[in-house]
Structure 1
Amino acid sequence: MALTFTLDPPVDRVLRDGILALWVEVTEAGGAVGFVPPVTAEAIRPELVKHFAAMAEGRCRLLVGYDEEGAVAATAFLLLNTHQLMRHWLWLYTVMLHPRHQGRGYGRDLLAAAAESARSFDGIESIRLTCRGGTGLEEFYAGCGYKEVGRVPDAIRVAPGDDRDDIMMMLPLNRY
């Protein structure tokens, strides 16, 4: 059964705890979402609070994918640009899919739902995201239509002696 996506769901304890649990599971499975294992929900919580603060300020929107049991199974945060010369594109952050749902096309579904959401925002023409090199994510994103537009070698230090490229990718949102 496919995931059900909701843009801007009400933020409550259940959603907060669901996102925290997802973030821990994705990180522990090796996902490149800002942390490295081992990680706890308490370590992630301040970063989630920053995301929620940006939402409260109107700078960020949240897309959540729910599984057939109603659990948080996927997320993507769409961060709007505040710079007056860059308001025509947005950032996609904290793109996560629960490891138990991987390999079923749900990641592609999440990115398609994010693009559809972005198309509904006034004036948005493209999506940018960054990903950690050495994970294969750039190939996944390329398969979803994103193009690599920049790379900073060794910008991400996962551990001493383990530096990864920071790869910027972009998806134009053609409006036909």
Structure 2
Amino acid sequence: MLRFVLNPELTEDLFDDVLDCWVDVTNAGGAVGWVPPVTADDIRQVATATFARCGQKGPDSLLVGLDGEGRVAAWAVLVANANPLMAHWRTVMRVMVHPKHQGKGYGADLMRAVADAGLRLGLEALKLTCRGGLGLESFYAGCGYQEIGRQPLAIRVAPGDDRDEIAMVTFLEQRA
């Protein structure tokens, strides 16, 4: 069972642990912004910018799921909208579970924790996008999300391998 923490203090050790998770997920084939192989140096700049906006430092929220040893097993970011007319919902990004924890139900646990975090933040809805061709939309549908649209061939994984970007939403008041 994971212990979820919303906006933890991002120590150097926690930053490194989250970054290592991101690298390991990517290198295992996860659809989290890169294609393998990657190193921590490949992702570090984006990670630094992402986490600089989280918690008391900015408008976004980092949610981490820690395993029994206190290591990052899963995490996601709830990204705030800059437009005040859209302050009632956020975009969920960087959803990932470390490969060594795959198959334990931690992905569903993470998505429940994301919804709980959204409710604690006073949000009404959460949106996410996922890469087509991997069956991720079925996973998210099982977590209460519904498809609201697709941008065909939006994600170029490799030359000749373009995937749809699938937009999905969940309404938190319907889940409470």
TM range (shorter): over 0.9
**Structure 1 segments of 4+ aligned residues over 6 angstroms from their partners:** none
SS in 2 for 1:6: strand
Runs of 5+ unmatched residues, structure 2? none
* Residue in 1 that maps onto 2:136: 137
Amino acid of the residue matched to residue 78 of structure 1? L
Q: Secondary structure at the match of 1:68?
A: coil
Which letter does structure 2 place at the counterpart of 1:134? Answer: G
Letter in 2 for 1:159: A
Alpha-carbon offset, residue 53 of structure 1: 2.0
Match runs of 1:43-58 below 5 Å? 43-55=42-54, 57-58=57-58
Letter in 1 for 2:46: E
Partner of residue 97, structure 1: 97
Distance in 2 separating the partners of 1:117 and 1:94: 15
Counterpart code for 1:129: L
Partner of 2:108, secondary structure, is: helix
Question: What is the TM-score when the length of structure 1 is the normalising length?
Answer: 0.95
Q: CA deviation at 1:58?
A: 2.2
Residue 128 of structure 1 aligns with which residue? 127
Q: In the alignment, what sits opposite 1:13?
A: 12
Matches within 5 A, 1:63-102: 63-102=63-102
Q: Which runs of 5+ in 1 are unaligned?
A: none
1:60 to 2:55 alignment = no
- What one-letter code is carried by the residue in structure 2 that aligns with 1:22? C
* Partner AA of 1:168 in structure 2: A
How far apart are the structure 2 equivalents of 1:12 and 1:172? 33
The amino acid of 1:52's aligned partner reads: F
Letter in 1 for 2:101: H
How many Å apart are 1:57 and its aligned residue?
Answer: 4.2
Give the distance between the partners of 1:98 and 1:36, measured in 2 at CA. 16
Whole-angstrom CA distance in 2 between matches of 1:20 and 1:84: 31
Query: How does the TM-score come out when normalised to structure 2?
Result: 0.95
Partners of 2:121 and 2:3 in 1: how far apart? 20
CA deviations 1:2-42 (Å, max 9, x no partner) are 11111111111111100111001100111000000000000
SS of the residue corresponding to residue 155 of structure 1 reads strand
Supply the distance in 2 between the matched residues of 1:118 and 1:94 (Cα, whole angstroms): 16
RMSD over aligned Cα atoms: 1.1
CA shift at 1:84, angstroms? Answer: 1.9
Task: Figure out how many residues of one structure are paired with residues of the other and give that number.
Answer: 174
